[in-house]
Structure 1
Amino acid sequence: MLLLLGLGAPASAWAQTTAPDDFGQNRIQYKRFNWEFYSTQNFNIYYSQNGKELARNAAEHAEKELKRITSLIGYYPYSKITIIVYNSVSDMKQSNIGLIDDPYKGGNDALFVKSKIEVAFEGAQTEFKRQMTYRISELLLSDMMYGGSLKEVIQSNYLLRLPEWFVSGAAAYLSEGWSVEMDDYMRDMIQKTGGKRSEPLFARNQRLTGQAIWNYITERHGTAAIQNILNLTRITRDIEIGIASSLNMPYKRFTRDWFAYYTQMNTFADGSMPSPDKDRKVKKTNGRNYLYSEPAFSPSGQQLAYVIYDRGAYKVMVRNLANKGHRMVYRGGYKMPNLAVDHTVPLVSWRTESQLGISDVRRGKLQIKLQAATARYFPGVATIKALLGDNSNIIPLGAYSQVAGLDFSEDGQMMVLSAVKNGQSDLYLYRGSRLSQQLTNDIYDDLSPSFLPGTGNRLVFSSNRLPDSLQSSRGKFANVGSNYDVYLYDPTNTHSRFWQLTYTPANEGQPIGLSEDEIMYVGEETGIKSLYRHNIKNGQIDRVTDFRQNIKSFDYNVRTGNLTFVANDRAKEYLYWYPNNPLQPIANTGFKTKRQQVLEANLQRRLQQERDRIAAALAAKAAADSLAAIQVPQDSLGTDSTAVPAPKPPVAAPRAKRVLAMATPDSLILNYPKPYDLRFGVNNIVSSIHADPLLGFGFVMEVGMADLFEDYRIRGGVFALTDLETNNFYAEYSNLKNRYDYRIGYQKQSIRQGSNTGIERRLGKHEILPALSYPLTNALSVKFLPRYANLRYTIIERFDVPDVVMDFAGIGGELVFDNSVVTGMNMREGTRMKVGITRMYGLGASETGFGKFYVDLRHYQKIHRQFVWANRLSYGHSFGPSPKKYLLGGVDNWINAEQDNTQIWGDDLTIDTYPAEFFYLDYAMPLRGFNYNARNGSRYVLWNTELRLPLFQYLFEGPINSGFFRNLQMVGFFDTGTAYNSGNPFSDDNSVNTQPVPRPPFEVIVRNFRNPFMYGYGFGARTTLLGVYGRFDMAWGEKDLKREGPKFYFSMGYDF
């Protein structure tokens, strides 16, 4: 039975009818993807329907960035990198890539660094470029640290454990440099924590902290230090040695220096740069680290709508500003942190005082829902209406892949969208629910459109287009810059419908109209995202906020003077509301952040270099023209012609209004796309030892394979004892491509065992296990589980005794729910549940049939930071003509195992007549304080509760380089359970409370009225050592009011 495979192979669920460890989350495919790919020198770029332009742009950018990244890190990939481009985040959420059964379910899992990345277009070309650069950098760094030959992969998996900040921070720096987001994070955290300790920075966001560290290394020690540190860390497998040796300073001094660098630049005079008033927070706390977006006032300014994100799930809330009441008017998504969060869904805009327009994706289809803002949202009612085909108040947007911006006109009759089609975002004007006009059609981003009040259909938007692109040029991807300005669209202007309103080298975005002549937007001129008020007529611009934190999104209502915005406080987002704010101008003190000063200095240096280059080129050309003019041909000597044309004066280069574009590479030549060719590659290798309760120690080896998109998977493995005569082979094929998922598995077991009579015997099993699964949500699925098994019992060297052969046909079903979140090694939050039933029918012998009903419910509750309270309630009931036994007690994968009543699996099980008694025997674990088989029966109930504290992670907020101490987890536990044969645990006639005493020719039944439950409690520790996750428990057990112990358990594995 594949109970032997405690290392987490999914096949372990095949042998146990209860399948206690087979959980998992789902991906739902709403559309069929027809994949094609372009091939370049270093990349294969895959795309689906309507994604050809995105793929071509991706190929151009990837080849350009690869040269830059490899020169910085000093590493070049050994093979082509695969880039999978999705038209939207919604499409990427349907991908099966990265969907694994359980990262902490089994033994030593050597995951191969796969040379593929996924990138979704979110509506902005600059973000698309940034994401692509980040993913390429992350892949190259992971390949550099963990990849290479099979030997290096295995060595790195065992000996090298890099903290998150090292790789993710380096990738962020390579893709963004000294970004506004990172600068804001450092400024906020250093000010709020007093600038005394760096550990809180790592605790809140390791990626941004790592980005800041790599930025400091580059600013102080040059770009050459990057590859020196990476190479030495790879060789020595120690971060501290890599950094200290490369920078020629002790590691502790380095940690002090980089933190002092940011502390010094982010120290301001008291009151010079205030933080938002904490009393203005709409929600005073944010313990669950929610994200806020889309704040929007109703036309009257009396209601505030906003969106709350919680790890993939979202709610649209409306707050009544008069009575401070709030209500949920819409919700969607699922708490699936392993998937990308689509922050363009939902978008919110008020259509009228009582109705909101909400963009959303339902069942893979893009739509705008006109939702009442005055009534609470009931998801069950909405689901029933959708199933009944109620499409009222829905504007379908099937022509687009996603919506990046949404706004309604003052009268609610027109709607403007920033929508993505064919890999570019453009503006579309709707009248009612029908498309009226496409306003733009080019490669440049057109984001955050907003109507100007009192002007009909005049609107403002933010774009990174070039000035000469306002007319008819569609532009080229290579010319798309990262600088955003604000533009005005005026259909009444006969000269030009588009006008550029801002011309700064900083970014301006999210414009809204205050009146027909005034707008408001977010600008970065000082290096901090602040709010600016802009008069369109006279061009006057005033900064109206001076907070030290970035303003991420905002809204303002002119009628009431209400201002709302989203900003960070200690790296957590909060929504603020300032009533009666007159938008007073802030005096210009000339302040700019250190980052802004460095960037502007670099800009001026590049501009000067460009001017010098142009001047030198023009001077050289002028000198060459002069030399050519004075050279006289030989046959012209002796003539009277002595006139020499004067050289033309050099022409000054025109001054650019923005950053000069770097020289673009030669255009990339792509061949015709090729269709996707199904091929399999090795995904992972699992190797370890396992201690089986019946058979003892054995070796486990498993190999997993999958195609590029991981829609088709093959897994195979073997468990064998050292004598190689007892072994267990299994194989599985899975197809996850379509709406229904199915798999088929095969298992072969051969077990050689002795008996009390000295007779050697062999038990064999062949089992075929199909499965059909239908995901209802990303966390909930139903499964149909038929199966067929052939069992054989053979007495070795007794040819006169025929084999016992049993055949079974079975049918079963499961309901599986899993929204748990992996937060660390053996750490989770959320709920996992499985309820199932199976019925096995004996073919030709109905009296051998049996069935099992099982429940496994687990909940992981966060108490404080990494401190988690884990609970598990499990129940099993075997029924039918030949019910099977559950053996209660002990722990899984127990190295120093002990067993009570050792004859229970020998002749007493009559496996010579019914080998099914052996193969379908189940262990109910853990019940610490007792041996295996402390009690048995055809039913059991078991409750486990644990307090799990990762000691060093909880006490120290900074990075912990030692894997042993980083993963060291202290556990306090309590287990209670019982096993019995009939009735309930407290029945007078169950197996616990009755004891048959044979007195021939009679049998006496003694009723003892014992406490049916056994209790175990104690404490333990878990950690990793040489890549193996080991567990130690010391437990005391209580049975029949008697205390036993302490008992010591050494085991391997995760969770319960």
Structure 2
Amino acid sequence: MRITFTLPLFLILLCPFVTLRGQVSSVEFGKNRVQFHQDYDEWSQYESRNFITYWYGEGRYIGQSVVQMAEYDFESIESILEHRMNDKIEIIVYTDLTDLKQSNIGSEEAFENIGGQTKIVGNKMFVYFNGDHNDLRRQIREGVASVYMNAMLFGSNLQEIVQNAVMMNLPAWFKDGLISFVGQDWNTGLDNQLRDIFLSDKYEEFEDFAEANPALAGHSLWYFISQNFGKATVSNLLYLTRINRSVESGFLYVLGSSFDKTTESWQSYFKQRYLGETRNMEPAEGQPIEFKNKRNLPITLVKLSPDGQKVAYVVNEIGKFKLYIQEISSGKRTLVMKQGFRNAFQATDYNYPLFAWNPGGMELAVIYEVRDVIKLLKYDIYTGEKVVEDMSTQYQRIYSIDYLNNFDLVLTAAVRGFSDLFLYFTQTRQTQRITNDFWDDLDARVVNLRGKRGIVFASNRSDSLLLPTKLDSILPIATFDLFYYDLEGRPGELVRLTHTPHANERQPAALDTTYFSYLSDVSGIDNRFQGYLEDYIHHYDKVVRMQDGTEVVMEPDSALTTKLDSAAIAQIDTIEIVPVIKQRGVTFPVTNRDRNILMQHTAPRAGREVELVLRDGSHRILFQPIEATGQAVVPRATFYREKMRDYHQRLSLQEETKSKPPAPPSPVLIEKEQKSIDLSDVPQEKQDTGKIDIDNYLFQSEFDEEEVPAQVIVEEDEGEITLQRPEPEYVAPENLQAEQEEGLEEFRPGRIIPYRIKFRTDFVTTQLDNSLLFDGLNSFAGTPQDFGYPPPGILLKANFKDLFEDYELEGGIRIPTTFNGTEYFLVFDDKKKRLDKRYAAYRRALRFSEEGSISSPIQPKTESVVFLTQFQLRYPLDIFTSIRATTTLRFDNTVPLATSPVTLEDPILREQRLGLRLEYVFDNTLDVALNIKNGTRYKVFAEAVKRFDLQVTDGLSLGFNDGFMAVVGFDARHYQRLLKYSIFAARFAGATSFGSEKILYYLGGVDNWLLPRFNDDIPTPISGDFAYQTVAANMRGFRLNIRNGNSYALVNTELRVPIFRYFSKNLNSNFLRNFQLVGFFDMGTAWQGLTPFTDENPLNTKFIPDPPVPSNPVTVKVRFFRDPIVVGYGGGVRALLFGYFLRVDYAWGIETRVVQEPRLYVSLGLDF
């Protein structure tokens, strides 16, 4: 028995600034990022007052919008959080979500955008364009808020440890909810989600809700506090929570009540609110379509076939989607296509796939994306035949599609960063552009109204003119209205169907040749509205007809001399005042739901429609006949809408002195009881005039009021509603007018400069460490002596990255606590292209003493110097899978130090080897908590090492020696969640080496063992040409070398239970939150020869004496039986102590069916 090293516990305190970096298993797995194109080669940057914004390629206009929106919202975010930063925030802009997923930044982190949050890494934030500038604005606000939160809670330099402890103690709902609260005001979408949760009684306590959905739970709590205690309370709570390092203390000091009392009030508040407002609302109608969805996956798109007999829908499981067609009557469904894989690390793309039924119902057109290339699939409903073609490369992303005829499509798509309306001719792959401006155009649907074919779509444009416009001083962040485009007349102007500055209209659909429908949140819930077109007198023109037949058109009250000279006036024949007739939409509500209608689609020819609703946490598809009878109902306003209405009423009274738009027409009142609208009574050419009672308008957000809404008037006291027509005379730029008045950031193109690579420090760390420093060394860690773990040493490590983390440089030095050597390493990663490259260099110099002889009592000393270089190519197949090839060049020099005249003559041993290693790696594990993972990861590898001789002293010579070694192995691990917080972890590993040189594997012990012990009772091979030695761990219950050989196989299983999390959901102690009880079972063997049971295995052979004595001519060879397979079992604890993850195991070993004495193991590091 020999003890290789003893570590006093107080040495842990010598490293005050430590992190968990590097405390991992010695086997490297890792995930990837895949770059599909070269667009990232050229980046541009723009520096404004508070931000530095970066974009690439055709993202210039998106970048401009980001600059202006970020600066516009910056002061309001600072006022909410009451914090300031000296450093500018860096915003990285991507044209769409697919490009964002290709970023190398934070490649090993779970993508925070899963819950709708902007991804943040340090002082950098990422945003992408999804066709809606309002969502882009939300991302910016959330990103800025998140950077501020990190700065407030983490701090920097010497404060890092203290502030990091504060951050770790904050529950997830606190930060995620506050970021969401700052990012967007309470809205109908959040209100609908929370309403469904409360009405379904899904959670009994706030903590349960917060654990399942921290962002929504936290946002609702911050909203509740701001509504009942004022917005200033939010910043006070944040400040005192940070100072006292306790959420409970913050609530007590600021609100005067405990956190539990506050959440009880929160629960009572929303429960009463939602029960009260839904009392007079109706549940969703229609026949539910039953479909298989056991895991309650979200439905992202649903559409009804033209004959009304089939429904197509998409289910998406965090990136893995399936498109089905299901017969409504029989329930039989057909899988059209499936694509993708479950990916919890990156934001789920719910935009794709898109699909549309052709008018005949015989074909389904599907738009999806493969490796950043947009595809069009045409699926034959009856034969199942699929035809796939690439879409035009000008489209960056497509947002909606519909059939124009049996061949051609209507699209809304992004080109050069703007979402516009297009016609796409599939037979020629040509495109015809309809809109060409910076406004957002979405949800295009083909309709047939009044005998003409046209397109109804949603847009946030301020006017109806089809003029090419460029982004300048107005941002497209207004709410969405509906517009109509006449495909037959092809006018230069759109028809405005709705005009509601504080509500959104989306999801238009055709009902018949007269009516269309859409969804609007004007009442606080997305209800269905119907509408039709009517003619009206837009204005009057003065038409001057000349004697030669020409006409001159001018305004009615303008003088003739404004356009005509005296000679032309003499040639006038007649002058006539002519009315100009245009079209507009007349709309009214037809539902009064208690939940949002998330999506709708109609089959006008069959007279049927489907809708998607969320009820009791599940998506439901409802099927019903179309009722386009002009029957209107009164949708009750929600509490949220009532509050917004009161706010805008007060705001309107404060701005009475400001100029007002012309008064809308007098409303046509309809009784509260449902009754049909007589279309013949609606004036077609004459406008109504009169004043509007502003008390009966509904509004959506807290932006300044510009114009009374032009959609639905709810008069609950009177029990009446209004048919509303948008007014043409007054075109307001929505709430953007306030932005212009307050000074929108001027964008100066001259400030755009190319981005130049610059490195910055990512981290500098000092820690106690005894692991192999980077992958590849474990196969070469060994000396001709008995194997010993690297002694614990002080590791100084620094990491530097460029802005986009395409390039990474890491270097370090480790000094062992035995002070008998040093280790240096330098690693450079180039991940800019799809083929990642790594360059690494490592040098280790260790001195050790040998035992002296009787004739020479001076202990000989030897220095072992290892110099190793590596070059690795990594080709990612996807985010989880990669193929890796590593070339290694290694030089081993064993130098006898001159401690006596005899040692002067000792030769220097030089060994040089060239290695090639191929690996197939898969890793989809997700870190749920410290040392708690979910998922699977494995590695299969093969390695070949060739010995060579390179001489440069007496001339250059290169020769390849006989030494050759090959290694084949695997390491597979699976982590299965149990009992909510616990996991069952299993590991299967094995390797074998063969050739003229081999690796000797020592079975036993654990990784990063602080007190390693070697077993001298098990004989080691005296032959076999072993070149290197390494450990095969974990095999608890035994010392090192319980079995050995050139092959090994190992099974480890663990049950990890974070026991204290079961007793309290809000653990303030970092130690208690990460404390784990562990039960384990290990089984393994190592052997020499073909199998562990062959005679070649020296396990059952012992030579006496061992080692042989030259003076003794007799050597006895003893054979006996040992079971080659050993088993270990026991329990242990895992805890985070002084910044280190400490593992303590107490294990019993079973060898040859005999239970051994228990052993205690203390080690550092995560996982096995």
TM range (shorter): 0.7 to 0.9
Q: 1:973 aligns with which of 1080, 1090, 1096?
A: 1080
Partner-residue secondary structure (3-state), 1:552: strand
Q: Are the equivalent residues in 2 in contact too, given 1:952–1:965 (CA < 8 A)?
A: yes
Instruction: Tell me, yes or no, if structure 1 residue 594 matches structure 2 residue 639.
Output: yes
Q: Are the equivalent residues in 1 in contact too, given 2:320–2:342 (CA < 8 A)?
A: yes
Partner-residue secondary structure (3-state), 1:458: strand
Partner-residue secondary structure (3-state), 2:86: coil
Instruction: Tell me, yes or no, if structure 1 residue 98 matches structure 2 residue 106.
Output: yes
Distance 1:981 1:531, change over 3 A: farther
Task: Look at both structures and tell me which one has the larger radius of gyration over its CA atoms.
Answer: 2
Between 1:74-83 and 1:94-103, the stretch displaced more is: 94-103
Distance 1:461 1:764, change over 3 A: same
Q: Displacement of 1:926 after TM fit?
A: 1.7
Q: Displacement of 1:159 after TM fit?
A: 4.8
**Aligned position for 2:754:** 675
Q: 1:506 aligns with which of 492, 503, 507?
A: 503
1:506-531 deviation line (CA, Å, top 9, x unaligned): 21111121223222322212212233
**Aligned position for 1:551:** 597
1:646-668 deviation line (CA, Å, top 9, x unaligned): xxxxxx99955476542421441
CA distance, structure 1, for counterparts of residue 382 and residue 918 of structure 2? 42
**Aligned position for 2:406:** 412
CA distance, structure 2, for counterparts of residue 123 and residue 577 of structure 1? 28
**Counterparts in 2 of 1:352-431, with a 5 A limit?**
353-373=361-381, 393-409=388-404, 411-431=405-425
Distance 1:866 1:489, change over 3 A: farther
Q: 2:135 aligns with which of 127, 147, 153?
A: 127
1:998-1049 deviation line (CA, Å, top 9, x unaligned): 7997877666554322222233333434433233333332221012354333
**Aligned position for 2:444:** 449
CA distance, structure 1, for counterparts of residue 1135 and residue 408 of structure 2? 61
Partner-residue secondary structure (3-state), 1:786: strand
**Aligned position for 1:627:** none
Q: Are the equivalent residues in 2 in contact too, given 1:982–1:991 (CA < 8 A)?
A: no
Q: Displacement of 1:334 after TM fit?
A: 3.7
**Counterparts in 2 of 1:509-524, with a 5 A limit?**
509-524=506-521
1:3-24 deviation line (CA, Å, top 9, x unaligned): x9999878999xxxxx623333
**Aligned position for 1:248:** 256
Between 1:871-880 and 1:514-523, the stretch displaced more is: 514-523
Q: Displacement of 1:590 after TM fit?
A: 5.2
Q: Are the equivalent residues in 1 in contact too, given 2:592–2:634 (CA < 8 A)?
A: no
Question: What TM-score does the superposition give when structure 1 sets the normalisation length?
Answer: 0.86
CA RMSD of aligned residues (A): 3.6
Instruction: Tell me, yes or no, if structure 1 residue 662 matches structure 2 residue 738.
Output: yes
Between 1:465-474 and 1:227-236, the stretch displaced more is: 465-474
CA distance, structure 2, for counterparts of residue 948 and residue 471 of structure 1? 64
CA distance, structure 1, for counterparts of residue 304 and residue 1117 of structure 2? 77
Q: Are the equivalent residues in 2 in contact too, given 1:282–1:577 (CA < 8 A)?
A: no
1:893-917 deviation line (CA, Å, top 9, x unaligned): 2334443229999xx999xx99x95
CA distance, structure 1, for counterparts of residue 409 and residue 515 of structure 2? 20
Q: Name the amino acid aligned to 2:250.
A: G
**Aligned position for 1:80:** 88
CA distance, structure 2, for counterparts of residue 837 and residue 818 of structure 1? 18
**Aligned position for 2:31:** 24
Q: Are the equivalent residues in 1 in contact too, given 2:454–2:484 (CA < 8 A)?
A: yes
**Aligned position for 1:603:** 648
Q: Are the equivalent residues in 2 in contact too, given 1:313–1:333 (CA < 8 A)?
A: yes
Q: Name the amino acid aligned to 2:1007.
A: D
Q: Name the amino acid aligned to 1:776.
A: L
**Aligned position for 2:562:** none
Q: Name the amino acid aligned to 1:596.
A: R
**Aligned position for 2:527:** 530
Partner-residue secondary structure (3-state), 1:77: coil
**Counterparts in 2 of 1:96-495, with a 5 A limit?**
96-100=104-108, 114-147=122-155, 149-161=156-168, 162-193=170-201, 196-268=204-276, 273=281, 280=288, 282-283=290-291, 285-287=293-295, 290-351=297-358, 353-373=361-381, 393-409=388-404, 411-433=405-427, 434-453=429-448, 457-467=453-463, 469=465, 476=472, 478-493=474-489
CA distance, structure 2, for counterparts of residue 42 and residue 578 of structure 1? 51
**Aligned position for 1:746:** 841
Distance 1:296 1:833, change over 3 A: same
Q: 1:697 aligns with which of 779, 788, 792?
A: 792
Q: Displacement of 1:284 after TM fit?
A: 5.8
**Aligned position for 1:1039:** 1151
Q: Are the equivalent residues in 2 in contact too, given 1:158–1:1027 (CA < 8 A)?
A: no
Distance 1:456 1:374, change over 3 A: farther
**Counterparts in 2 of 1:711-790, with a 5 A limit?**
711-757=806-852, 758-790=859-891
CA distance, structure 1, for counterparts of residue 21 and residue 825 of structure 2? 9
Distance 1:457 1:1015, change over 3 A: farther
Q: Name the amino acid aligned to 1:709.
A: F
Distance 1:239 1:350, change over 3 A: same
CA distance, structure 2, for counterparts of residue 198 and residue 281 of structure 1? 33
Q: Name the amino acid aligned to 1:668.
A: E
Q: Are the equivalent residues in 1 in contact too, given 2:45–2:755 (CA < 8 A)?
A: yes
Distance 1:102 1:221, change over 3 A: closer
CA distance, structure 2, for counterparts of residue 962 and residue 925 of structure 1? 32
Between 1:341-350 and 1:123-132, the stretch displaced more is: 341-350
Q: 2:75 aligns with which of 63, 67, 77?
A: 67
Q: Which runs of 5+ in 2 are unaligned?
A: 1-6, 8-14, 112-118, 535-583, 661-693, 695-704, 711-733, 772-787, 853-858, 950-959
Partner-residue secondary structure (3-state), 2:1014: coil
**Aligned position for 2:1010:** 895
**Aligned position for 2:1094:** 987
**Aligned position for 2:718:** none
Between 1:691-700 and 1:392-401, the stretch displaced more is: 691-700
1:771-791 deviation line (CA, Å, top 9, x unaligned): 011112222211111110111
Q: Are the equivalent residues in 1 in contact too, given 2:1144–2:1163 (CA < 8 A)?
A: yes
Q: Displacement of 1:166 after TM fit?
A: 1.7
Distance 1:10 1:23, change over 3 A: farther
Between 1:90-99 and 1:1005-1014, the stretch displaced more is: 1005-1014
**Counterparts in 2 of 1:756-835, with a 5 A limit?**
756-757=851-852, 758-796=859-897, 797=899, 798-835=903-940
Q: Name the amino acid aligned to 2:827.
A: E
Distance 1:1025 1:281, change over 3 A: farther
Distance 1:655 1:817, change over 3 A: closer
Between 1:426-435 and 1:857-866, the stretch displaced more is: 857-866
Question: What TM-score does the superposition give when structure 2 sets the normalisation length?
Answer: 0.78
Q: Displacement of 1:730 after TM fit?
A: 1.1
CA distance, structure 1, for counterparts of residue 291 and residue 993 of structure 2? 51
Partner-residue secondary structure (3-state), 2:321: strand
Distance 1:362 1:663, change over 3 A: closer
CA distance, structure 2, for counterparts of residue 927 and residue 565 of structure 1? 58
Q: Which runs of 5+ in 1 are unaligned?
A: 14-18, 104-110, 383-391, 616-651
CA distance, structure 2, for counterparts of residue 362 and residue 751 of structure 1? 52
Q: Name the amino acid aligned to 2:746.
A: L
Q: Name the amino acid aligned to 2:862.
A: R
Q: Displacement of 1:447 after TM fit?
A: 0.3
Q: Are the equivalent residues in 2 in contact too, given 1:900–1:932 (CA < 8 A)?
A: yes
Q: Displacement of 1:583 after TM fit?
A: 8.3
Residue correspondences, number: 981
**Aligned position for 1:924:** 1032
Q: Name the amino acid aligned to 2:401.
A: L
**Aligned position for 1:943:** 1051
CA distance, structure 2, for counterparts of residue 943 and residue 874 of structure 1? 7
CA distance, structure 1, for counterparts of residue 243 and residue 790 of structure 2? 41
Give the share of equivalent positions with the same residue, in percent. Answer: 27
